[in-house]
């Protein structure tokens, strides 16, 4: 493994001021603290999306996402790895506290930086590409990324399943048993719609989630979220193909190390190079899904 301290600067033409898209979807803010003797959750999920607009239903699109999350014994999230089928095959991202790494299979390189370094590089990029005479203000501070909804791919347990906690708190209610993908499951339904006004006179937005979990452990099997906007109905389905909870042993922790996963890769510590690699992945994602 060769470590590169000062990589060649990417060409300005390759750095466009697009939003940096995290690999897959939805990544939690992670803070490194507490004991490192917790659990590591490995999960592979297939996601499908169906949209009906003014009576016309789109063909469902599916993608497969793999996430690996480490949680300390006291419930603090340590590291998160995400990879997805709709990105370049083999492209991976790891977040550990303020450190961010991506592995780009195109050039077999691990690019690393910090949240602050990424934001400074993005701020410099926006300023360098802004029209002459314009005034650009870019705030640089701690970036916090949170999961967008309860039925998110960022699901992983503490000492007990989050769904069991929501059932006890009344956020979800048990409505019966179902068979999902050949497995017996408890069916939990969100106790009330999630509502959000949009515009006066244009109707409103609401969504409701149904969760299917394994009896006893409440580990996820499938979630179905149905959302309604004026003229648009969407359904997102997440099916867990695998779900494993491991002890956070040194061997298991190697699953979250890009260097361990790709021992022959270069390692580049440079915020601008990291941003370039992330944005190249974002462009590929847009081209394939747009």
Question: Which residues span the domain enclosing 56?
Answer: 3-289
Region of 125 please: left (phi>0), alpha (psi -120 to 50) or beta: alpha
**Are the C-beta atoms of residues 268 and 110 closer than 8 Å to each other?**
yes
Give the tokens for residue 138: 């870019």
User: Token pair for residue 85?
Assistant: 């089928």
Residue 63 in tokens: 């993608």
Residue 206 has a CB neighbour count (10 Å cut-off) of 14
| pLDDT attached to residue 159 | 53
pLDDT of residue 86: 64
Whether the CA torsion 168, 159, 77, 240 is positive or negative: it is: negative
In this prediction, residue 39 carries a pLDDT of 86
Cβ atoms < 10 Å from Cβ of 85 = 14
For residue 49, the model assigns a pLDDT of 86
Each residue's pLDDT tens digit in the chain (290 positions)?
A: 444 444 444 443 333 333 333 333 333 333 333 344 688 989 899 988 888 887 788 776 778 889 898 888 777 778 899 987 666 678 899 999 889 999 999 999 999 999 999 988 988 888 787 776 665 555 544 333 333 333 444 456 655 678 888 899 999 999 999 999 899 999 999 998 877 655 545 556 788 999 999 998 898 999 999 988 777 888 999 999 988 888 888 999 999 999 999 999 999 999 999 999 888 775 554 444 44
- Whether the CB-CB separation of 17 and 125 falls below 8 Å is answered with yes
H helix and E strand count, the chain? 5, 15
pTM of the model: 0.67
**What dihedral angle (degrees, nearest 10) is formed by the CA atoms of 88, 90, 91, 95?**
150
Which one, of 62, 27, 66, 26, lies nearest residue 44 by Cα? 66
Q: How far is C-alpha 24 from the geometric centre of its chain's CA atoms? A: 5
Residues forming beta bridges with residue 244, ordered by sequence position: 42
Q: Can you say how many angstroms the Cα of residue 60 is from the centroid of all Cα atoms in its chain?
A: 20
The total domain count for the chain is 1
What's the pLDDT at 136? 55
């Amino acid at each position: 493994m060769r470590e590169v301290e000062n990589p060649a600067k990417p060409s300005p033409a390759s750095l466009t001021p697009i939003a940096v898209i995290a690999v897959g979807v939805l990544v939690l803010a992670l803070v490194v603290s507490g004991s490192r003797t917790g659990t590591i959750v490995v999960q592979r999920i297939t996601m499908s999306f169906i949209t009906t607009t003014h009576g016309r239903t789109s063909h469902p699109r599916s993608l497969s996402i793999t996430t690996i999350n480490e949680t300390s014994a006291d419930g603090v999230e340590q590291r998160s790895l995400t990879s997805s089928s709709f990105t370049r095959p083999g492209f991976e991202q790891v977040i550990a506290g303020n450190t961010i790494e991506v592995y780009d299979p195109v050039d077999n390189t691990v690019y690393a930086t910090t949240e602050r370094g990424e934001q400074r590089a993005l701020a410099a990029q926006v300023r360098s590409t802004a029209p002459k005479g314009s005034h650009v203000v870019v705030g640089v501070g701690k970036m916090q990324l949170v999961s967008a909804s309860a039925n998110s791919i960022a699901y992983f347990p503490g000492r007990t399943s989050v769904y069991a906690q929501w059932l006890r708190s009344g956020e979800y209610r048990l409505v019966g048993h179902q068979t999902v993908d050949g497995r017996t499951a408890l069916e939990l339904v969100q106790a009330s719609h999630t509502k959000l006004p949009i515009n006066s006179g244009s109707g409103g937005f609401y969504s409701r989630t149904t969760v299917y979990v394994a009896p006893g452990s409440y580990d996820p099997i499938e979630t179905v979220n149905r959302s309604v906007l004026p003229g648009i109905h969407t359904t997102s389905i997440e099916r867990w193909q695998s779900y494993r909870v491991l002890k956070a042993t040194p061997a298991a922790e190697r699953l979250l190390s890009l260097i361990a996963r790709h021992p022959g890769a270069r390692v580049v510590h440079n915020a601008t190079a990291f941003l370039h690699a992330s944005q190249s992945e974002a462009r590929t994602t847009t081209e394939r899904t747009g």
